[in-house]
Chains A and B, each alone.
Chain A
C-alpha cells in the first residue's frame, strides 16, 4: 500500500494562532475555570475541601442567601429593562436624527452625546450624586426655575426611585454606543435602496419604518445583546453611587454588588470566596443563557440583506 503523499503539517497556522490562544487562555479561560472550581469547594478548618454543589444549595436554599440573590436578580432585570426600553430607542432616534442630511453641526452632537461613554464610572457616579444632591445639587434649583420644585425628591435615597434613577444615569452614560452603531448601520444603507423606495412613494416616517428599520435590525440585535451582557455584569456605577451595601435597604443591589460583598466581604463581614464564586458562576450561567437564546433563537431568524 503506497501511502498517499502526505500533506506537510501546516505549522504556520498553529504559530499564528498561538499568541491569541495563549493570551486568551491565560487571562480568560483559566480564571473562569478557576472560578467554577472554587465554587465547588469550601474552606473547612483552613483547608479547601470539595463539597459538590453545597454552595449552590446554600445560595438557593438558605433564605439568608436566596432572598438577597433573588432581590439582586430582580433588580438586575429591572436595570436591564430600563436600558432596553429607554436607552436603545433613544439611541435609534438620535442616530436617525444624526443621519438626516439636513441636520447642521451633526459632528458636534455626535461627539457631545458620545463623550459620557468614555468617562470613568467614578466621575459619572460622583457627578450625578452631586447634581441630584438635595443640599448642593443643581437639580433642585433647576426644577425650581421651571416651577417643578415640588416634584423633586432625594431620588438616590428613596427605595422606590433609587434603582430607576441609577438605571437612567447609566442610560445617559451609554446612550452613545447604540447611537454610534445604528448611525453606522444607517449610513451603510445604499442610496439605491432609498431612491427605489422614494420612486415607490415611500418617504418620511414610513420610509424609516418600512425600509431603514428592517435593515438595521441586526445592529439592534447586537446592541441588545451587548446591553444584556453589560447590565448583568454591571457593578461600578452602583458601587460608586450607593456603596457596597447598595442602599437604601438593598433596593439597588444587583448581582455585581452582591458578588462583591460575598467575595471580598465588607466592613465586619469577612469575605467568602467560595460563595462569591458560586454567585459568579450563576452570573456566568445567566449571561451564557441569555446569549444562547439570542444566538440560536433570534439571530438565526433575522433576515440579512446583501447589497
Chain B
C-alpha cells in the first residue's frame, strides 16, 4: 500500500513539475561531463553568460567522476535518462556512441563552420562526412623552461635541434639544474611528452599521419623512427634514477626549480602558474634545420554533442551553436589556461604562457597525436604499445629501429589500410 501511495505521489509531483515548466515556457538542459574540476567555471561563468542571452533556457552542468564517466553515460543512455548534452571524448569512444545512434548528427549546425577540419576530425566518421560533436578545446605540446635558469646560464631559447642539445649540454656542464625533467616510470610521459611532442616535426604533421592511416607510410620509415632516435639521445640529460621517476615527480622537479626544461603539455600551465616561484617560458619542439617548417601537436581533447534522444533538441542546438561561438571560446580559454579553443576566431587570452603556446598555431602547422584516430582500435593497442616502447627507447633497453618494428608488426597484425 505504502509503495503504491509513494509511486502515486512521485508521479503526481513529476506531472506537476513538468506542468509548471511548461507553464513557464522554460526548458532545462542537462550536460553530462567528466570534468568535475570545471564545475565552478560552468556555474559561475559559462552558464550565466548563456542564460543571459537566451532567456527561457536553463542549463544544468552535471558531471560524474572521470573514471566512471564512460560506464555511467553508457548506462544512462541505454536507460534513456541521459542529459541533453553530452561531453565527448575524442575519437573512438564518441564514434561508438554515434554509431549506436546515441549522438545526433550535427554536421549542419550553425557554428560548425568556425572549426578547421583537423579540429573536427576527432568527432567525425572515418570518411569525414558526418560530425557529431562541437570541438571545445585542445592541448598543445611543447617544452616549458625555467627562464631564470636560462638567463643565469646565458642560454638562448633553442629553435633547432643543434641549439637544443647545445643548451642541454650547457645546463648539464653547469650542474646546478637537471637539464630535463622527465621520467619513464609511468610510460605515458615518454610517449606523450616525448614521442608525440617532437614527432610531428619529423613525420610532417598531418601529412605523415594521414599517410600512416592510408598505409602509404610505415612506422619503420625513416620519418617515424627519427623521433625515437632523438628520444634515445635524451637519456643522459634526465635526472638520476629517471627510470623510477613518476609523472608527479617530474612536475615537482620542475616547479621546485631543480630542473631547467620540462617536456610539456599545455594542460600543465594552470598548475605550474600556482606552484612555480620562477619565471617560465615555452618553446615549440625544435626543428631539424633552421628554416624548416615547424609542426606542433595540437591535440583535440574535449567536445560536446547532442543526445539523439533529447526532448529539447532545439534548445540544445541553440546551446551547441553558442558553444561553437567565439564568446564561449573566450570565456573557456581564459578560465582554463592551457585548454585552447579550437575556434578559427583568435581568442584573446590573459595568461602569457598560454599566449606563447597558442602563438605557435600561427607559425607552425597543427596536427593531432598520431595514434589516436583509427590506429588504436585493435589488439595490440598501438597507443599503449607506443607508451611501452617509448619508455624502452629512453631507458636504452631497445633500439629505435627495434621499437618501431615492434609497433609496426603489432599494427600489421590487425590493421589493413583502406578497409
- A interface, CB within 8 angstroms of B: 46, 63-65, 129, 132-136, 140, 153-159, 242-243, 245, 247-250, 266-270, 272
Contacts and interface: CB of A to CB of B under 8 A. Distances in A.
B231 to A, nearest CB: 15
Nearest to A241: B185
A247 B187 contact: yes
B162 interface: no
Contacts of A136: 249
Nearest to A132: B244
Nearest to A262: B379
| 5 tightest Cβ-Cβ pairs between the two chains A and B | A134-B241, A157-B243, A154-B244, A157-B244, A154-B241
Interface residues of B, number: 40
Contacts of B184: 157, 247-248
B361 interface: no
B388 interface: yes
Interface of B: 91-92, 100, 183-188, 239-246, 249, 252-253, 371-372, 376-377, 379-384, 387-388, 391-392, 395, 397-398, 410, 413-414
Contacts of A135: 239-241, 245, 249, 252-253
A153 B372 CA distance: 35
B371 A268 contact: yes
A181 to B, nearest CB: 34
A64 B384 CA distance: 13
A134 B245 contact: yes
Given A248-B391, A269-B381, 19 more contacts: A63-B413, A64-B380, A135-B249, A140-B241, A153-B241, A154-B241, A154-B243, A157-B243, A158-B243, A158-B244, A159-B395, A243-B186, A245-B388, A247-B388, A248-B388, A249-B392, A249-B398, A267-B384, A268-B376
B388 A250 contact: yes
A245 B100 CA distance: 30
Contact of A64 (B91, B185, B372, B379): B379
Contacts of B381: 266-269
Given A249-B397, A250-B388, A269 B245 contact: no
Contacts of A159: 395, 397
Contacts of B391: 247-249
B73 to A, nearest CB: 15
Report which residue of A134, A267, A272 has the largest number of chain B beta carbons within 10 angstroms of its beta carbon: A134
Contacts of A270: 92, 377
B149 to A, nearest CB: 18
B383 A267 contact: yes
A290 B243 CA distance: 36
Main secondary structure of the interface of A (DSSP, over half): loop
Contact of B384 (A63, A245, A249): A245
Nearest to A156: B244
B249 A268 contact: no
A272 B379 contact: yes
Nearest to A251: B397
A224 B188 CA distance: 37
A66 B380 CA distance: 12
Contacts of A64: 379-380, 410, 413-414
Contacts of B243: 154, 156-158, 248
Given A248-B392, A269-B379, A129 B246 contact: yes
A157 B379 contact: no
A278 to B, nearest CB: 13
Contacts of A250: 388
Contacts of A267: 188, 381, 383-384, 387
Contact of B187 (A140, A154, A243): A243
A272 B378 CA distance: 11
A64 B415 CA distance: 13
Report which residue of A134, A250, A268, A272 has the largest number of chain B beta carbons within 10 angstroms of its beta carbon: A268
B121 to A, nearest CB: 16
B244 A133 contact: yes
Contacts of A154: 185, 241-245
A245 to B, nearest CB: 6
A248 B397 contact: yes
Given A134-B244, A135-B239, A248 B395 contact: yes
Given A64-B379, A64-B410, A157 B397 contact: no
A268 B384 contact: yes
A135 B259 CA distance: 12
A133 B252 CA distance: 13
A46 B78 CA distance: 14
Nearest to B381: A269
B104 to A, nearest CB: 20
Contacts of A133: 241, 244-245, 249
Contact of A247 (B185, B377, B413): B185
22 contacts: A134-B244, A135-B239, A135-B249, A135-B253, A154-B243, A156-B244, A157-B185, A157-B243, A245-B187, A247-B186, A248-B187, A248-B243, A248-B388, A249-B388, A267-B383, A267-B384, A268-B92, A268-B381, A269-B376, A269-B381, A269-B383, A269-B384
